[in-house]
Every structure is written in structure tokens, then in C-alpha cells.
Structure 1
Amino acid sequence: MATRVEMIIETLKAFPNAKFTARELAKLFIERYPAEIAEKQLNPRYNTEEKLIAQLAAEIGGERTIAAKNQCPNVATRDKPRPRVYYWEPYPDQNESATELEDESDEFNIDTPLTAPGISESDLYPLLIEFLNKEYNLYCQ
């Protein structure tokens, strides 16, 4: 019987050019591992296929993905944009350096202006006041 970690690794390896959400992986698990999933369906909490898929997707999104990444460096995820996707990275060493560069670009740079060119900070105050009034019923001056 395959564990969830083995299922993640084997399924992603079987589809090296595809990216999956946790729900899509869960549906593949039902197709690829009927014996293991049948045992899970014996639990009355997962008596419908939708409940079973939701549970499997939750299991994929948790510690099992971290364990799969530790066991196999080819298992990769991308968190942005949402939803998180899972995929097989054929060259994991090259991907790490690219990911590090992407992470650095997401950091706040104090030298980067927060407003668009031609818009001053004082031009934004009326928009902020309107937003706070509509969203939070605040009356600002």
C-alpha cells in the first residue's frame, strides 16, 4: 500500500509536464490508488466523493507535501498566484536559484516609491477617506 507521500511523488512523476491543484491530485489518487482510497472511504465521515476529495486535498496540502519534498527534491510547489499548484521539477537545483531570485524580488524595497509617477501622496488621501468610509463606516478628516 502506498502512503500519501508516495502517492504525491509517484503521481507527479507520472505527469512530469502537468501542474495540479490539491483537489486535482486528490481526484487522481482516487483513480490511481483505488485500494488505498477504498479503505479511506470506509470512514463514515467521507461517505460522499466530495467529502473524500476535500479530505484528500487537505492531506496533500499539509505536512505530507513537506515530507514529499524532503524525500524527493523533484516535488515542487508554487504558491503565487493562488491556488497552490504541485508539479514535478525535472531540474530541482536550477529551480532553487530561480525561486530565491523571485523571493528576493518580492521583498519591500525602501527606495521604491509607493505611488505611481505623477501622483502625490496627498492625492491619495481623498481615496483613502472614501475607502475607510465605505468599508468601515469611518468618518476621517
Structure 2
Amino acid sequence: MAKMNLRQTIADLLKAHPNERFTARQIAEWIFANQREACEEKRKNSQQDLSDDAAFLWQLVAEIGSNRPVIQKRWPQIRTTEGRPRQYYWTAASEAAEVAEVEKQAQANKPGKLSEHDLYPLLCRYLHGDLKLYPKRIDEKRATNRHGPNGNKWLFPDLVALENLGEDWDQEIRACVQQAGAQRARLWSFEVKLLINRANVRETWFQAVSNSSWANLGYLVAADIQESAMKELRLLGASYGIGLIRLDTGAPSESEILIPARERSEIDWDACNRLAVENSDFREFVSWVRQFHQTDSAQVGKWDIPEAVDF
């Protein structure tokens, strides 16, 4: 009687049908239909009662799933989809190229698709309406210097914000803190993306690290965060202190902080000086922060606050 080599059988099936996708159930049914002798030998040697065909198929499905990590390590060309039920397929494309193509198709097929710039006012709505921050857009195109191809994307954040720590304080407390020279504001920095997936997770994260190193709190924000990237994002968050926000484009108030940022007690004013010298938007932001400390009012700045939001 023939003995079944399940891993090799799965690899041979997928390789013979490149780019065609199969669920574990479909693979199990193909094996049962095409390798009946090996299946009967496996059924006979099993310690479980697999006399019923349905029970045998379910056992095959379970073994396919449990063998998936080993199969994909041995045959890197075998990939699986992220949704449920998971689908298995063979492809010669690199993982980065494949994910980029999936992202491109998803955006192309999405009606009324958003651009990254469309996310900025939505994020401002969430920051001001829910977190009570005073946000400002920083346009990297206003930089006086260019640091090579796409160099400025590693220097300037997409948005910055001021948090008035004494917004709800009693007037006497606010005056006391002002006289004592204690901290009265936190400065936030945001790097915004449409999508974070396993292909771009590290690049987007370290861009946020680079652009937010000057601030008390730095965040990476995305409208679409694929589950395949979350493990890496949590590890990076623990190591570098950058936070993560999922932006709900349909209802910004439903956005959520998935990973809280780790606060830095001091502002890096040397880094701020470089940003202010090279970008008029950032220099204006620093000016509004200065006026806030002078007047104890954030209303001195023309913040990017949607008119519909007021508190």
C-alpha cells in the first residue's frame, strides 16, 4: 500500500496549478479523490475512528493547517491569503511584489478611493474632536532644501499638534503652573499612511520614528492596517515607543489608538530648529507654541480644525 507524504503532495498540487487558489478543504478533497490508496492506508493506521469519509476529510483539513508553517518554510513559493477560509497557492512572484500588486488592485477597485492627502482633515477631526489636540498640517513641499530623492519624507511629519494640558484646569492652577515654569503643553507628531501591510510595515514605522524623534509623542496613522503586520508593529512599538492609530475614514470619531506612544519628557529643540529653518509650516507651528506659552491660549494659532468640530 502507498504511504502518503502529505507535505509533498500539497506542494506538488499547488505547483501544478500556479496562482490557482485552494482552501484546505479543497486540497483534502483532491487528495481523497486522487490518492485513494494512500488515504485508505492512512485511515487504517490512524488511532482515531476515521471510518466515516467526512471524519477523514476533516482530519486531512486539520493536518493541512497544522503543517502549513513547515510547508511554507520548505517551499517559499507557497503563499496563503489572510482572510478566512485561508487559501493556498503557488507563485513565483516575490512577497513584496505580490503584496504591492494586491494593494494596487484593492485601491483601483475601491469606489471613491481616498488619497493620503484626503486623510489629513479626517485625522484633524479626530485629533481635535476626540483627543482635544490642536493640529497643523506640515507640507514637506515647502521645505527650502531637498535631501535627495524622497529625502524629505524622512524628515518632516505629515501633521503636528499641540496639547493644552491645562485645558480643564482651574484658572488659579493654570496661573501657578505658568509662574512655576512647569510643563503646560505636549507636542505630538503624526506620520500618515493609507495602508500598512507586511510589505511596507518596517519602512513606514521607521519613517515615523525618523519624523517624530523631536516630539513628546509620535504616532504612525493608517486607514487600513492589515492583520499580517500587527505582530511586527507591536514589537516595533515596544522597542521604539512610537504609537499606532487606526483612522476610521467613514467615522473619524470611531478611530482608535491601537498602540499608545511612549512619552518623551523633553522636546528635542535642536531637531525642531532644523525643521523650522527648512520648513515655514513647522516654523509657524513653533511660533504658535511660543504664543500659547505667552498667552495661555491655544487660540492664537490658525490650526487645521474642521469647522464642524467644536468643544
TM-score under structure 1 normalisation? 0.67
Deviation at 1:2, TM superposition (A): 4.4
The RMSD of aligned alpha carbons is 2.9
Deviation at 1:48, TM superposition (A): 1.4
Q: Which is helix-richer, 1 or 2?
A: 1
Residue in 1 that maps onto 2:142: none
Q: Please list the CA deviations of residues 20-56 of structure 1 after superposition, one character each: whole Å capped at 9, or x if unmatched.
A: 1111100011123222211122246111111111000
1:56-75 correspondence runs (5 A): 56-62=60-66, 64-75=67-78
Q: Give the distance between the partners of 1:113 and 1:25, measured in 2 at CA.
A: 37
**Counterpart check, 1:24 vs 2:122:** no
When residues 88 and 29 of structure 1 are mapped into structure 2, their CA distance, relative to the original with a 3 A threshold, is same
When residues 52 and 33 of structure 1 are mapped into structure 2, their CA distance, relative to the original with a 3 A threshold, is same
Computing the radius of gyration over CA atoms, which structure comes out larger, 1 or 2? 2
Letter in 2 for 1:66: P
Aligned equivalent of 1:33, options 13, 32, 35: 35
1:1-141 correspondence runs (5 A): 1-42=3-44, 43=46, 45-62=49-66, 64-80=67-83, 82-95=84-97, 98=100, 100-101=198-199, 105-106=225-226, 109-110=244-245, 112=247, 116=251
When residues 23 and 4 of structure 1 are mapped into structure 2, their CA distance, relative to the original with a 3 A threshold, is same
Structure 1 SS opposite 2:247:
coil
Q: Give the distance between the partners of 1:85 and 1:115, measured in 2 at CA.
A: 29
Q: Give the distance between the partners of 1:35 and 1:109, measured in 2 at CA.
A: 53
Letter in 2 for 1:100: R
Q: Which is strand-richer, 1 or 2?
A: 2
Q: Give the distance between the partners of 1:28 and 1:111, measured in 2 at CA.
A: 41
Matched-pair identity in %: 29
> After alignment, is 46-55 or 32-41 more displaced?
32-41
What is the aligned residue count? 117
TM-score under structure 2 normalisation? 0.33
Deviation at 1:114, TM superposition (A): 7.8
For structure 1, the 5+ residue unaligned runs are 122-141
